[in-house]
Structure 1
């Protein structure tokens, strides 16, 4: 009997992945509009193209003084590890149909996005799901935090050039983190916000505590939601088992096309501004 793909909440993972941060950013911007920034920013110059953007929270001189202790070799390893982590997350999304069908734990290990956590929750025992999801999410977020803290504003420049996120949105998120770091980091956990928190000079102890609380909340919420949608998710897994190869090819093509279009748009916008 051929499995049919139901139209349920877990069938719209990519939409949820985009909608949650955008919706929460809008709400948070309203809540934090009147709050006094934790730090005061002054204009600074971005590397490479000289673009003037949001400054470091504690100022350029303080950042340079503190980061003299970070060796160039350590920075190279951090950059390589961060780039590898982003590539793993992209590969996890591209190969998500095959991973969902044959290795749900691998999907979490590569890309622990909330939609992926929801759709794999009923397919894994809780004793495996919770440690794997929390540890991988914490490791990726901590790597992002170290990357942002070590490279400062250049980290945002790098993200704007090598990820789909645009610089304007990253600067808005930096402003939100500076005004209300606990609220933002609890509502929007992940490597991207962790990197911005590093740029904003959130203290390591505070950052680690916020990451633990945020991951415990979101992983638990994803598990409960996934358990409530178990019948739908099992049907989706059966569909993925039946059409693993064509679905994976479609997802790979979609991810590659999206990244190519994003890079082309950024190059076009850069040419227009110049």
Structure 2
């Protein structure tokens, strides 16, 4: 089946729906009209630029350029994790925890899937590596950001409870154990909901894109199952690591709660 080409004027017609929504937002005085329009403009600009970059990258196919592209995606995702928290750790910790957690989880799972499961030749083929890493980073980023935000908000809100438990002789892990578990649950909830609803409530994005491009539905389903499982693994491991390191950073060597290590966004 041939793929139907889309022209820029057809995309502009779709953009009128966003403009109409922005008008409704302004009329309802929701206060997010500018954010909506800016986000729509960024979507169009960023995806257009990425399209040109990927075309050049696919043509070259060198591992160095694939690695540089992945590193750039990782650093931008780390910045987004930090920016989405109302309270974040001071200094380099605020950026490093999310970035390193995504590197350990998303990159490891991506390499594992490329080498062991999918097996393209070469294994770093940008046609497979970049889209897979992008989907993993995007979802892992959301999970880690939600988890860290829930953790810092919870520790600030339950400060007296945590300090009271410390005074009773509990370790820092015991004092904030429920807060840590709640943060991890928050990070995992989006992917759990997505897997539970996949195929019943919604058709996931990758599967929809493959079907629209002419891929057989059965093959698209297999790829989507693979992606969902890898996203769940990457998000879960990244969330566990980020919450563990961040919660330890909130206590000093004497196991005293150190909220002064947080700063408001």
TM-score normalised according to structure 2 size: 0.31
Q: Which has the larger radius of gyration?
A: 2
